[in-house]
Amino acid sequence: MNPENEVLRLDGVSKVFFQRASLRASNVIKAVTNASLSLRRGEVVALVGESGSGKSTLGRAAIRITEPSQGKIWLEGRQITHLDRRKLKPLRRKMQMIFQDPYGSLNPKIRIGEAVGEGMRLHGIASSRDVGQRVAAAIERVGLPAELAKRWPSALSGGQRQRIAIARALAVEPSIIVADEPTSALDVSVQAEIMDLLKDLQRREHLSMLFISHDLRIVRELSDRVLVLYLGHVVEAGPVNQVFSSPAHPYTEALLQSVPRHPAEPAKKRLVLEGELPNPISPPQGCVFHPRCRYALPACKQADMSSRTVAPGHLTACIRDDLDLNATAVERR
Amino acid sequence: MKTLLDRARRNPALALGVAIAIIIGAAALFPGLFSQTSPLEIDMGRALQPPSTAHPFGTDHVGRDVYSRVVHGAGVTLGIVSGSLALSAIFGGLTGLFAGYLRGFSDLATGQFTGVILSFPPIFLGVMITGILGSSVANLVVAMAIIYFPLFVRVARSSTMVEASRSYTEAAQVLGAGDLRVIFRHLLPNVLPAVLTQYIILFPLALQIQAALGFLGLGVQPPTPDWGASLQESKDYVLFASWTAIFPGLALILSSLAVILIGRGLQSKN
């Protein structure tokens, strides 16, 4: 892999949270364990998994909004794992984020124009003289009229707010954008609009994105590679087409089966995952997925979750190499 | 301001509160407009006279005009209350903002400190502080500011915690805003309404405490007109010259009422 083109690299990143259980004891919650990834310029890498799988935590740790407990992070070839806040500050403009909830992510007491211009001012990208013009350009870039700059967030619809949140993130010309389920809080009709905008911006401006989602159809449409997370572990990673057409981990198989299908399609028997996501305070021994896995062997209780390569760039944490897993065609939306 | 008057038009209770507040506020700011008589002029020859056209609220035990004393007392009493509450709101609000945003040790320390203050009954605390610092208007203001400090800290802290958990705070951090910018530019405008509400809620309570401390002879010293102090001076004559107590008392009640009516009126949706 050419390090020149590598925008972001995570190596063995873990994040644990401590939860006060009693006066003396704390529970250790392993939100993310030993996650590694590499993201090249212009590439979109998706993090998928159900709620509580640690995908948001991993996305936040990657840009040090959450401090990782372990592991190393490189941004454009420079290690940023241990930079203090003062040194990290100028790098903030390189790592931006789009949030899930467009109602919470815009400050109700700050006008749209100021919100979009804040990063440019903070990083000295625009002088106070031309910041107005650049704000207008940033708002138009996401397909909204520049006049919105004078409005308050309360005057905007959910879709408009999310466009503004995207404009705010793009205004500082970041090297990488973490998009944390940017469409899941929106109406279905608006979801498509925002997806089209993101896709369009990505193609036109070669954005590098870490795309967090649980909607596999959106992932298929937008991303180049995908990391499947289960209980904080990356269970499978690889090119989207490959992972979706020939999954190498039973959890991926189950996840693919859960995608809603068109009612006209012939009904096939579906695999339904039994049980619930285990409590991350006391994860299962061995492979964390084995209690719910229909292919589990006694050896799975001792498995160590290390990855093995099934094809170039395609990794799985499953110890069984004798499985022929079902792929379910995930249609683009 | 415009919305306040608009809403007053549709809400008679709010209108009443606003009207009383305007009259009392005008008396506090411009007492000369309401009474040309000096509140300090002693004339033993006209002591304890009942209300008349010359002295609409009567005269007190040394012949001073009660009406004039009530009018001039407005500025003194309400000035002390609003001033001490403002001090409390500023320092308590800022403390709560920092504690609620930074959390950790600073939050724990402020929590314990405010807990200590809250463990004393307000009057007792007022007596204690003015007792230590000495009885003067400035010290009374300080004492009352300390009494209400924890209540502003708590409101500001909890409101800050709610706001800080919304993603716009994280968005500001992602953009590279420092702690001070997040606190003052992003959180403060969103926490301010809660602090102002607390100010309105505490105003009538603080007015009572101020009057009680005045009654106990703490803070405002005679002959300065003060509603609480006037009540104290009139206590020996109240049975046969009730006007000396009724009018300063009424002024206290009406001021509290005005603030409560305005607070309630603003809270209701219509």
Q: How many CA atoms lie within 13 A of B153 on its CB side?
A: 23
Span A65-80, pLDDT tens digits: 999 999 999 999 999 9
User: Which tokens sit at A243?
Assistant: 């992972």
Q: What is the DSSP letter of A100?
A: S
User: Does the beta-carbon distance from B185 to A110 stay under 8 Å?
Assistant: yes
Q: Taking a contact as any Cβ pair under 8 Å apart, which residues of chain B between 172 and 231 contact chain A?
A: 172-178, 181, 185-186, 189-190
Q: Which of A100, A122, A169 sits opposite B177 (nearest CB)?
A: A122
Q: Give the model's pLDDT for residue B270.
A: 54
**pLDDT confidence tier of residue A269, bands split at 50, 70 and 90:** low
| Residue A99 scores a pLDDT above 90 | yes
User: Does the beta-carbon distance from A119 to B175 stay under 8 Å?
Assistant: yes
Cβ(A210)–Cβ(A176) below 8 Å: yes
User: Does the beta-carbon distance from B175 to A63 stay under 8 Å?
Assistant: no
Instruction: Spell out the domains of chain B, with CATH numbers in brackets.
Output: 11-24+58-267 (1.10.3720.10)
Q: Give the model's pLDDT for residue B186.
A: 96
- Residue A323 one-letter amino acid: L
Nearest CA in chain B to A97: B174
Is the Cα torsion angle A113, A114, A118, A122 positive or negative in sign?
positive
Give A90's contacts in chain B (Cβ within 8 Å): 176
| CB crowding B119-138: b at 16 or more within 10 Å, else e | eeebeebbbebbeeeebebe
User: Does the beta-carbon distance from B167 to A108 stay under 8 Å?
Assistant: no
Q: Which of A89, A106, A122 sits opposite B168 (nearest CB)?
A: A106
Residue (of A222, A249, A245, A254) closest to A234 by Cα position? A249
Q: Taking a contact as any Cβ pair under 8 Å apart, which residues of chain A between 23 and 82 contact chain B?
A: 63, 65
User: Does the beta-carbon distance from A118 to B175 stay under 8 Å?
Assistant: yes
Q: Give the model's pLDDT for residue A66.
A: 92
**CA–CA dist B71, B23 (Å, integer):** 10
Q: How far is CA A170 from the centre of its chain?
A: 17
**CA–CA dist B116, B112 (Å, integer):** 6
User: Does the beta-carbon distance from B167 to A118 stay under 8 Å?
Assistant: no
- Mark out the alpha helices in chain B (DSSP H runs): 2-10, 12-29, 31-34, 66-102, 104-118, 122-133, 137-164, 167-175, 179-181, 188-215, 227-234, 243-267
User: Does the beta-carbon distance from B171 to A105 stay under 8 Å?
Assistant: yes
Residue A77: CB atoms within 10 Å: 11
Instruction: Provide long-range contacts, Cβ within 8 A and 24+ apart, for B241-245.
Output: B241/B48, B241/B50, B241/B58, B241/B60, B241/B61, B243/B50, B243/B51, B243/B57, B243/B58, B243/B66, B244/B48, B244/B58, B244/B60, B244/B61, B244/B66
Give A169's contacts in chain B (Cβ within 8 Å): 174
Closest chain B C-alpha to A171 CA, distance in angstroms = 10
Task: Judge whether A162 is closer than 8 Å to chain B, CB to CB.
Answer: no
Nearest CA in chain B to A171: B175
pLDDT tens by residue, chain B, 270 residues: 567 778 888 888 899 999 999 999 999 999 888 888 888 888 888 888 888 888 889 888 888 989 999 999 999 999 999 999 999 999 999 999 999 999 999 999 999 999 999 999 999 999 999 989 988 899 999 999 999 999 999 999 999 999 999 999 999 999 999 999 999 999 999 999 999 999 999 999 999 999 999 898 888 888 888 998 899 888 888 888 889 999 999 999 999 999 999 888 887 765
The interaxial angle of helices B243-267 and B66-102, nearest 10 deg, is 40
User: Does the beta-carbon distance from A107 to B186 stay under 8 Å?
Assistant: yes
| Residue A1 scores a pLDDT above 50 | no
Q: Give the model's pLDDT for residue B40.
A: 85
Q: Which of B173, B181, B190 sits opposite A108 (nearest CB)?
A: B190
Cβ(B217)–Cβ(B136) below 8 Å: no
ipTM, 2 decimals? Answer: 0.88
**CA–CA dist B151, A300 (Å, integer):** 57
List the single best residue of B108, B159, B168, B188 to mutate versus A (max A Cβ within 10 A).
Answer: B168
Give B160's contacts in chain A (Cβ within 8 Å): none
Report how far apart, in Å, the C-alpha atoms of B204 and of each of B107, B145, B210, B255, B263 are: 29, 14, 10, 8, 11
